[in-house]
Structures are given as C-alpha cells and as structure tokens.
Amino acid sequence: MAWFLWNNRNASHVLTLWKPLPPSRYKTNVDGAVFKERGQCGIGVVVRNDKGQIMGALSKTLPYPLGALDAEAKATEIGIIFSWELGLREIILEGDFQIVMNAIASHDPGPIQIQQLVTSIKSWVPKFRAWKTSFTRREGNKAAHLKAKHAKLISECTIWVEDTPPIIMSQVLNDVTDLGFSPV
C-alpha cells in the first residue's frame, strides 16, 4: 500500500508511505534536523533495496548551526556519498524538502544558500549508472527523519551496513509489512 487519501473539513491531504522501487535499484532517503538549542544539526540517511531491506543507515551530528534548508541539502550530499561508498550505482535519492530535490533534478541551482551543496551533489550524480530524485512528504521519509533526530544523542556519526538500526526497526517493519516483504 503506497498511499492513502483522506478528507477533513478544510482540505484533502495525501498521506504518503514508503514506496517500493524497481528491482536492482536502491532508495536513499535523507533528512536533516536542526537542534537550535544546541547550535547543531542532525543528518539521517536510510538506504534500502527493492524489498525494503536496509543496505545502510547513518546518523551524523554536524557541530555547527544550519537552517532547515541547509541541513536538508547537507543530508542529501551525505546521502549520495554514502550510497556511492556502499557500492550502489542505481539509486533514487528521496527527501522531504522539495526545494532541494528540485534543485538537484533541474538546471536551476536553487536558493543561493545551498548552491554550493547542490553543485557538489550534481558532481556526484554522473558517477551513477542511473539516478533520479524523488520528493516525498514527511510520512514517506519517517525512517530517515528518525535517524536525523537520533543524531542529537550521538557525538559524531554512527553507521549500520546491512543491519536495521534499533531506532528505526518498527518504522521499517511498518513501511514494508503491507508489501509482503521481510525487511530484516
């Protein structure tokens, strides 16, 4: 089940859940979190195969303040480099900040504050055999969001490879249960 539609008095909303992808492709979900009270940011990356199984995940603390847009762009840069380092060559780069995803997919460099990061990301994408960006709402990016928030609890960076981090275990199970896959 990929999405639901529900209505309320004021508007229709689409609730987006994690969506499966074509065989032999990998989805790299990215998210950034801003910890204003600490003057830090958190990065979350979750990479899955076409069955929803974790290929790699990371939480990373950035010891400097960024705004939400900058944190999302930095998460995207870290996510694409992480995917490459995992040896993946066909990816869908997905995040919940549409401005960042659009800037990567188009000739528009995006807002000036993220242009350097967008340029860096665009220098990585030609290395992949196949790639595309995808925007999803927060509901479709929950695992990466949890990893970004988890960064508040670590000192630098934690990485999992082919193992599901406990902090996102139930979310990963929820994401793929209706698809008939076993993510762990």
Per-residue pLDDT of 128-144, as tens digits, reads 999 999 999 988 899 99
> Does residue 14 lie within any of the structural domains?
no
Rounded to an integer, the average pLDDT of 157-162 is 96
Query: Tell me: the pLDDT tens digits for 72-84?
Result: 999 999 999 999 9
Count how many domains the chain has: 1
pLDDT for position 105: 95
> Does residue 113 lie within any of the structural domains?
yes
> Does residue 184 lie within any of the structural domains?
no
Please, are residues 74 and 169 in contact by the beta-carbon 8 Å criterion?
no
Q: How far is CA 50 from the centre of its chain?
A: 15
> Does residue 142 lie within any of the structural domains?
yes
> Does residue 7 lie within any of the structural domains?
no
> Does residue 66 lie within any of the structural domains?
yes
Q: Does the pLDDT at position 102 exceed 90?
A: yes
> Does residue 8 lie within any of the structural domains?
no
Reported pTM: 0.87
Range of the domain at 162: 24-177
DSSP for residue 112 = G
* CATH number, residue 73: 3.30.420.10
Please, are residues 169 and 184 in contact by the beta-carbon 8 Å criterion?
yes
> Does residue 97 lie within any of the structural domains?
yes
Rounded to an integer, the average pLDDT of 12-16 is 46
